[in-house]
A and B are shown apart, each in its own frame.
Chain A
Amino acid sequence: MSADHRICDPLDVATIKADFPILARQVHGRRLVYLDSAASSQKPRQVLDAMQDFSVTSYANVHRGVYSIAVEADEGFEAARDAVARFIGAPSSRSVVFTKNVTEAINLVAHSWGRSNLGAGDSILLTEMEHHANIVPWLMLAEEKGFEIRYLPVADDHTLDLTDLDRLIDGVKLVSVTAMSNVLGTLNPIERLAAAAHAAGALILVDAAQWVPHLPTDVVAWDADFVGFTGHKLLGPSGIGVLWAREELLEAMPAFLGGGAMIRDVRLDGWTPNEIPWKFEAGTPPITEAVGLHAAIDYLTGLGMEAVRKHEVALTGYALRTLNERFGDDITIHGPSEPAQRGGVLSLAFRDVHPHDLSQILDQHGVCVRAGHHCAKPLMRRLGVGATARASLYVYNDESDVDALADALEATSTFFG
């Protein structure tokens, strides 16, 4: 229908789609149109095969194994760590800690660094657009330690309002901020915030859960202190996440969870911690998941993260144009209006159809979008809505998926005229 709008796409999406077995399935007799990658992405055959092959040929517990397959498992696990380090521009693999997800990565920083550095009279700075994962761990710790939590507000154009940055950042010990909003798609100025944090004598933690899967990442260029992300949003499996931190910080921080692998020695009356990063990896880690994450990183690296970003800017632009042209005042798309300033996360308000009802009707057309508060209730209050319907784009989406979304939106008038 919008042939004149065809975008110039650096990715060969038809070939990419064929790599994702789930995209071949039908729902309610329709092609599956998956537009919920901001919640979790789908996995290409390459990731599924890597996990299957590893399980079939080399699986064993990691660390300390002497026999051949245990050595292979160890190599596979540590190779994944190396791949993560290269992918995010980390200076060393020692600074890459595997966690369960980004939520655990942030909790690790709160419990380890936060518990030993924050107390009454201290303050930290968050933003109004954080995911609950970057609010609740701090609220929990603040209840115990009595430090103050400040928030950078969200401006009317849905970017961060930095007008009062100097005042708000003055005296804080930590700035913890999302690199990209999972509701608005807003990309935040991490380098600027890092510079301001350091000038104020604070550290900066970046919740990069929505950034790392979609844009080239360089933790050194950011000048970040802590960066967390999660495997299941970047074509990898659930159950594995990453905390990257500057080595000196990890060295100085006390261990978080206690147990096997994180110790060097245990006596009946005491223990000594292992070296970093293992000091923070108590218990059997997500081994097969690490192998899957490695394959996902290889897949994205093969596409090229610059190309991934260009694809998403072009497709987001196509989606904004198509939806606004077809629905005009009937649709509100939250977030910055300029595709270059945002990621491919489109939170919608459509006529007065409640997001739940919208998502239900779209499902009947095979279109998967998430309805709800997206674990960002303070942001929902700021936007003055209880919930939104959110369509999010990734490497396997193209114009046909956006068109399917628009066609399905049309169909809501059957019930909600």
Chain B
Amino acid sequence: MAGLEDLYREIILDHYRSPRNRGALEVPPAVRSEGFNPLCGDEITVYLAVADGVVEDVKIEAQGCSISQSSASMLSMAVKGKPVDEVRDISRQFLAMMHTHESSLEGDDEQVAVDEKALGDLAALQGVVKFPPRIKCATLAWYTLGQGLDEAAGAAPT
């Protein structure tokens, strides 16, 4: 049986209490993307400054539960200063970790090997998978990041 200790790891609570990279960036040059969890009302805004294929800065405004807030905070640390390709890879890995359940229902599930080392602090969110209603809390920031990356790619001068 999943205990609450699996969910509320100390590192998660630390990010919840002191969220990193809070705030906003000027838009433009930054891009801004918004995410909502219609079930619980959690809201998040991700600001990305992307230049030369690198996420140079990221800021986050959000309100929500410990899981959504800590996930957003860890996201900001994991992607800041990284090349966009690497950020997309981390995002893919994180979402794969969150969806270990669902992938088995799909026929030819594309297996993404989860590299816990690369995920760093984010690996602490693995326990969320045992609490299905909370998975959406953990993934909200990541889907919002994806929108922002798409927008940045579209806005980039060719």
Contacts and interface: CB of A to CB of B under 8 A. Distances in A.
Contact of B67 (A356, A361, A414): A356
B13 to A, nearest CB: 6
A198 interface: no
Contacts of B41: 372-373, 377, 380, 386-387
Contacts of B74: none
8 contacts: A28-B1, A354-B65, A356-B40, A357-B66, A386-B40, A386-B63, A415-B8, A415-B13
Contacts of B1: 28
B105 interface: no
A386 B43 contact: yes
Contacts of B35: none
Given A415-B4, A415-B8, A357 B65 contact: yes
B64 interface: yes
Contacts of B4: 360-361, 364, 414-415
Interface in B21-79: 39-43, 63-67
Given A356-B42, A380-B41, A416-B66, 8 more contacts: A356-B65, A356-B134, A360-B7, A371-B40, A372-B41, A386-B64, A387-B42, A415-B13
A414 B7 CA distance: 13
Interface in A351-375: 354-357, 360-361, 364, 371-373
B137 interface: yes
Interface string A390-417: 0000000000000000000000001110
Interface residues of B, number: 19
Interface residues of A, number: 18
Interface of A: 28, 354-357, 360-361, 364, 371-373, 377, 380, 386-387, 414-416
Nearest to B42: A386
Contacts of B39: 372
B40 A373 contact: yes
A371 B65 CA distance: 11
B43 A354 contact: no
Contacts of A28: 1
B109 to A, nearest CB: 28
A354 B64 contact: yes
Contacts of A360: 4, 7, 131, 134
Nearest to B9: A415
Contacts of A377: 41
Contacts of A356: 40, 42, 64-67, 134, 137
A357 B137 CA distance: 11
Nearest to A411: B4
A280 B150 CA distance: 48
Contact of B40 (A361, A387, A414, A416): A387
Contacts of B66: 354, 356-357, 416
Nearest to A372: B40
A345 B152 CA distance: 46
Contacts of A372: 39-41
5 smallest A-B Cβ distances: which pairs?
A356-B65, A354-B65, A386-B41, A373-B41, A415-B8
A386 B64 CA distance: 8
Nearest to A374: B41
Counting chain B CB atoms within 10 Å of each CB, which of A356, A371, A414, A415 scores highest?
A: A356
A56 to B, nearest CB: 35
Nearest to B13: A415
